[in-house]
Structures are given as structure tokens and as C-alpha cells.
Chain A
């Protein structure tokens, strides 16, 4: 079983819609959770972090964490074509280790 699992997509949403990206993880003891955005040909960029159950909002982005279900998600409101990228979920299970999912490719259609 993979440490971190994501739907590889591609996920297509129309401009202005809400994009919902999901991630599950296997280690119940994980404490820190991150979302990275990676544009084609570029390196990943940290866009959200979440450490406790519930929602965390930053502009158009909302990260949601449910430790009981071992589930973390990223919502992008009012999606823009510039949001088209691969989104990587990363989980820190402790001991200063970080596990990445394989990423979900998002396309926002103008």
C-alpha cells in the first residue's frame, strides 16, 4: 500500500468552478500535511499546509483535513486557467520524513 495516494486525473473543470483534489494516507500518526503545485517543467511550489482537523483557508484555496478518515483535500474556488498544474499531496509521518503522492493533474478550461 502506498503511503500517500491521489487520483492521477486528469481533472478538468470549467473556469470559475470549484476544483476538488483529494488525498489519502496510510500512516495514522502523521501530523503535517502539505499541498504543492507543480507547473509543467517547473519544480513544486508549496501552496498550503495544514496540521489540525478541519478547514484552513488561504485566498481561493481551502485545505481540509480529517485525521480519523486519513483524508486531506484541497479546494480551489473560482478556478482560473492559471491554476492548471499538477497538485502534489505530501504527508509528514514524523521523524522528519515527507511522502509525496503521485499528483493530480488539473486542467481549468476557459
Chain B
């Protein structure tokens, strides 16, 4: 299957700082990527759809000024958590679709801890 990478795999930051997470499609181009968040023992929650060359589309209740998304190229999308707070601590996962039937492949995830 297709390969999607994320960096970093885990990060610890202090409250009030910003953190950038990268998502790369390694062996295919992705005009669209998705960002999810998952709290412990809960299901995936779609945060936003990242579109190459245009603005991201955010799900209801997700603050676009807090979670900045930039889809700079056909293989890279970044999520920046600005002014992070402890309640932003979560598992952030990106995915990218490819193939005739739009299979989504997930990155390995980034575990964010805000102290």
C-alpha cells in the first residue's frame, strides 16, 4: 500500500508555545490530505481537510486560527497547533487518499503532550 509519514512521532511542549506537525505522502501525490485527532479510548475525529494550493476546510467546532494547516506541495501538509494548551494533548493523525477507489492511508501519528 501507499506510504504516509509523519514527523515528529511525539512531541512535548510547554503551554503557550506552537508545534508544527508534518505529513508527507512518500510514494504518491496527494492533492488532499486529512487531519484527525484521537483522544484516549475514543474514536477518530476529523479536524480538517487539507487542500493543495487552497485553504483548508475545517470541521465544525475546530478553530481554524488555532490549528493552522498549510498544504504547500503535492506531498506535504503541515498542521501547526498554535498557543497549545494541555487540553490540546492528543494523538494527531494525518491521512492521504490515493487509488481509483480513494483508499485512505494513514500516517503513524504524532503524540502531542502539552505541559
- Count of A-B contacts with CB under 8 A? 45
Residue A69 CB within 8 A of the other chain = no
Given the known interface contacts A100-B43, A102-B43, A103-B43, the answer about A42 and B102 at a Cβ–Cβ threshold of 8 Å is: no
Q: Judging by beta carbons under 8 Å apart, are B43 and A49 in contact? A: no
A99–chain B nearest beta-carbon distance, Å: 9
Q: Judging by beta carbons under 8 Å apart, are B108 and A98 in contact? A: no
B92–chain A nearest beta-carbon distance, Å: 10
Q: Judging by beta carbons under 8 Å apart, are B108 and A49 in contact? A: no
User: Can you list 28 A-B contacts with CB-CB less than 8 angstroms, sorted by A residue number?
Assistant: A31-B101, A32-B101, A32-B103, A34-B103, A36-B106, A41-B91, A42-B109, A43-B93, A43-B106, A43-B107, A43-B108, A43-B109, A44-B44, A44-B106, A45-B106, A46-B1, A46-B106, A49-B101, A49-B103, A88-B44, A96-B32, A96-B97, A96-B102, A98-B97, A98-B104, A100-B44, A100-B46, A102-B43
The chain B residues found within 8 Å of chain A, CB to CB, are 1, 32, 34, 43-44, 46, 91, 93, 97, 101-109
